[in-house]
Structure 1
Amino acid sequence: MLAIDWKFWKSYLKTSAARSITIRMLERVAALRELFKAKQGKYPSADISSGELIRAVRLQQSEEDCVVDMCTQIEAGKSKENLSEGMEKAPSEHSSLVGLNDAADEFFDVPEPTDYDQSTDGWDSNYAPEVYSQDTRQTKLSTAAVFVKKLHDLAVQKRGYMDLQDMTKEDGICCSYGNTLPKDPTCTLPCSWTAAEPSTFLIRGENYLEDCKKFKAKGTLMQMVAADWLRSDKREDDLGGRLGGIVQKYAAQGGPEFFFIVNIQVPGSTTYSLALYYMMNTPVEDLPLLYNFINGDDAYRNSRFKLIPYISKGSWIVKQSVGKKACLIGQALEINYFRGKNYLELGIDIGSSTVARGVVSLVLGYLNNLVIEMAFLIQANTEEELPEYLLGTCRLNHLDASKSITVKV
């Protein structure tokens, strides 16, 4: 059994290259199958030579006529029983093809070109020259691929089987923004969130300009009230302004609540969005530093918004790589700001940095092994602004990309 899932490699593979590599992998699996059949049947006590293995691979060429006949029968609406009879009439040396119709077998055909992302970026030919070479066997192999696809379609009709990719496309829901990622204060539920302990993070003290000392935070200005874990085929911006979400529900009530939303966007063939919602009841005008940030220009905001990361559970290497050092996100990544009546949303575009995009794309597959804690704050640079205070914290428990919710328009 061979499972192929290109995932993030799709961004680097041309359509022709992805199909070529997939076909070559399937070709080798077919060769192994012929090898095991021969070893079990014709040659029970003798070792199979490499020449015979090559012969098994080349069986594809002599089987072309049989495959074309089978495809013609299927396309003409013949029954599965007629297909089996036609296969039984094939020469005995091709008897392994009969196994393709066994009920116990599942077949997944090489995807058509439209199944791959049409990307203009490809690998440098210096690294993989054979990837772009024209394979003279392509026509024969594609004919066999059509045959396997027809058999797979029959299996779909018989068993009511549905491809995982089709399920992913159909499980989209009209999101109730703010409720797609569950809260779990016990920190035991996988793929959930809760607020992190503020004392985990160090912030600038009242006399920081003189002694450069930092102290453990004692609390947060805002309360984390919701989180979203979304996936889409495009970047999802301004979640706070969408109808049906938690922000607009409070806005309709006309209360004093103000929301601060951090929307971390991870691009790729599928774009993931992790949105964290923080709320406060205190008037913004009573907090000069926050007020200036909310109403300032993008340059001012980029120079002040700060993130403190912490991996509380994960491998030693990951913990050491991330550390707990605060960083000004706007100095490294592009941040898009969306201002509403009762909210400010920060869309942090991970794709704006080649390095960050590569690292996060690789990390996505390991999120379910990590517990990530973060704190957000506005950096205090003057004596009047000190001491610093945390806007909010979060703890993300074993996030799983497969459990993200598809945004359906």
Structure 2
Amino acid sequence: MCTTKHKQKQLHQSQSNGCFSSTLTADDSIEGWREEAIAGGSLKHVDLQNGTNGWASPPGELFNLRGPNYFAKKVKIPSGEWLMNPAGVDWLRSNAKLDHVLARPDNRVMNALRNSKNSEKSSKAFIVAINLQVPGREHYSAVFYFSSKVDESLDSNSLFYQFINGSDAFRNSRFKIVNKIVKGPWIVKATVGNHSACLLGKALNCYYHRGPNYLEIDVDIGSSAIASAILKLALGCVTAVTVDMGFLVEGQKEEELPERLFGAVRICQMEMSSATFVDGVAPTSKVLPMSSGGESECDDN
């Protein structure tokens, strides 16, 4: 088992190779709870360029988003540094659809945050989790966790703040994914390429769960026949596919540009069998989280 110091060294090395978009150093970079969350996921953190059956953090420059003059000139520019930090990935299998995973008392990321030794800093952390719910005979969830940066609070005037605290209708109109097949069969590249940018809140049923220090977005991929067909194609050769996914709030006005990713993840040739089983019925919890449900368009914008 790696010591904490050794883990910090490994994570710092990964960061210098482009795995982390933040510029924090090994001494204060990975808050203890977030280091635990990254290292303990059911899908392991791997090298950005050569890793397999795991996840990595692609830098923002790999994603082209709407630039400051987009509405006049339709110009996209490489995204800058993410708004949040990576906080781990889970690949889960269950006997029922997994909804609102952050409210489960057995959620390892929230437990790592609650049990943090550096309670003063961790108490200020805000988590955004994206739970992609994969349909099938068994239920799968790919959960991507992102956390606010150390000593940074969310700007109350920002578009991201509006998204976190806005209505479900606003979220559905702005929640966007940009994706790219980095490695994979040509048919998967061609198919996904036609849906390289998508307003998930309009294309799929999305359910938003707002807790005191988190926002979880449950994305029901099975709610769209097109999305299910694309996913089925990708899963058929999943061990040969590496895909980058970036998440952002779409800018729809000049003053909301340029767009910025709040998080991104690279899934590297994942194996279905690597999923961890989680009982669909959550253990009894005394927590009474706030939650709300959303309603259910993909394009190249």
Matched residues in 2 for 1:341 and 1:187: separation? 37
- What secondary structure sits across from 1:303 in the alignment? helix
1:382 to 246, 253, 256: 253
Matched residues in 2 for 1:362 and 1:298: separation? 30
Matched residues in 2 for 1:242 and 1:398: separation? 28
1:185-224 mapped onto 2 (5 Å cutoff): 185-224=47-86
Deviation at 1:401, TM superposition (A): 0.9
Q: 1:257 to 1:393 in 2, by over 3 A?
A: same
1:250 to 113, 117, 120: 113
- What secondary structure sits across from 1:319 in the alignment? helix
CA RMSD of aligned residues (A): 2.0
- What secondary structure sits across from 1:263 in the alignment? strand
Which deviations, in whole Å up to 9, do the C-alpha atoms of 1:52-88 show, x marking residues without a partner? xxxxxxxxxxxxxxxxxxxxxxxxxxxxxxxxxxxxx
- Given that 1:199 and 1:217 are in contact with CA atoms closer than 8 Å, whether structure 2 keeps it comes out as yes
Matched residues in 2 for 1:232 and 1:267: separation? 11
Q: 1:215 to 1:189 in 2, by over 3 A?
A: closer
- Given that 1:265 and 1:274 are in contact with CA atoms closer than 8 Å, whether structure 2 keeps it comes out as yes
TM score, norm. by length of structure 1: 0.54
1:346 to 202, 217, 229: 217
- Given that 1:193 and 1:396 are in contact with CA atoms closer than 8 Å, whether structure 2 keeps it comes out as yes
> Which residue matches 1:146?
none
If asked which structure has higher relative contact order (CA below 8 Å, sep 6+), I would say 2
Which deviations, in whole Å up to 9, do the C-alpha atoms of 1:274-295 show, x marking residues without a partner? 0000111321244521111111
> Which residue matches 1:405?
276
The residue identity in structure 2 corresponding to 1:390 is: L
Matched residues in 2 for 1:287 and 1:235: separation? 35
Deviation at 1:187, TM superposition (A): 4.3
Of 360-369 and 224-233, the range deviating more from structure 2? 360-369
- What secondary structure sits across from 1:209 in the alignment? helix
- Given that 2:125 and 2:213 are in contact with CA atoms closer than 8 Å, whether structure 1 keeps it comes out as yes
Matched residues in 2 for 1:384 and 1:199: separation? 21
Matched residues in 2 for 1:287 and 1:180: separation? 36
- What secondary structure sits across from 1:234 in the alignment? coil
Please state which structure has a larger fraction of its residues in strand: 2
The residue identity in structure 1 corresponding to 2:198 is: C
- Given that 1:365 and 1:401 are in contact with CA atoms closer than 8 Å, whether structure 2 keeps it comes out as no
- Given that 2:43 and 2:274 are in contact with CA atoms closer than 8 Å, whether structure 1 keeps it comes out as no
Which deviations, in whole Å up to 9, do the C-alpha atoms of 1:354-409 show, x marking residues without a partner? 23223323432311110011111101111221111111111111111111111135
Q: Which runs of 5+ in 1 are unaligned?
A: 1-175
- What secondary structure sits across from 2:256 in the alignment? coil
> Which residue matches 2:134?
266
Paired residue total = 234
- Given that 1:242 and 1:248 are in contact with CA atoms closer than 8 Å, whether structure 2 keeps it comes out as no
Which deviations, in whole Å up to 9, do the C-alpha atoms of 1:3-37 show, x marking residues without a partner? xxxxxxxxxxxxxxxxxxxxxxxxxxxxxxxxxxx
The residue identity in structure 1 corresponding to 2:140 is: Y
- What secondary structure sits across from 2:86 in the alignment? strand
- Given that 2:206 and 2:219 are in contact with CA atoms closer than 8 Å, whether structure 1 keeps it comes out as yes
The residue identity in structure 2 corresponding to 1:209 is: F
The residue identity in structure 2 corresponding to 1:273 is: S
Matched residues in 2 for 1:189 and 1:211: separation? 38
The residue identity in structure 1 corresponding to 2:173 is: S
- What secondary structure sits across from 1:356 in the alignment? helix
- Given that 1:266 and 1:273 are in contact with CA atoms closer than 8 Å, whether structure 2 keeps it comes out as yes
> Where does structure 1 differ by over 6 angstroms across 4 or more consecutive aligned residues?
none
- What secondary structure sits across from 2:237 in the alignment? helix
2:173 to 303, 308, 332: 303
> Which residue matches 1:289?
159
Which deviations, in whole Å up to 9, do the C-alpha atoms of 1:243-290 show, x marking residues without a partner? 242124324545211111111001121011000001113212445211
2:241 to 361, 367, 370: 370
> Which residue matches 2:146?
278
Larger Rg: 1
Matched residues in 1 for 2:138 and 2:46: separation? 27
The residue identity in structure 1 corresponding to 2:236 is: G
TM score, norm. by length of structure 2: 0.73
The residue identity in structure 2 corresponding to 1:293 is: F
> Which residue matches 2:45?
183
- Given that 2:188 and 2:234 are in contact with CA atoms closer than 8 Å, whether structure 1 keeps it comes out as no
Percent of paired sites with the same residue: 37
The residue identity in structure 2 corresponding to 1:247 is: M
- Given that 2:42 and 2:274 are in contact with CA atoms closer than 8 Å, whether structure 1 keeps it comes out as no
2:184 to 295, 300, 314: 314
Deviation at 1:186, TM superposition (A): 4.7
Matched residues in 2 for 1:258 and 1:250: separation? 10
- Given that 1:377 and 1:392 are in contact with CA atoms closer than 8 Å, whether structure 2 keeps it comes out as yes
Please state which structure has a larger fraction of its residues in helix: 1
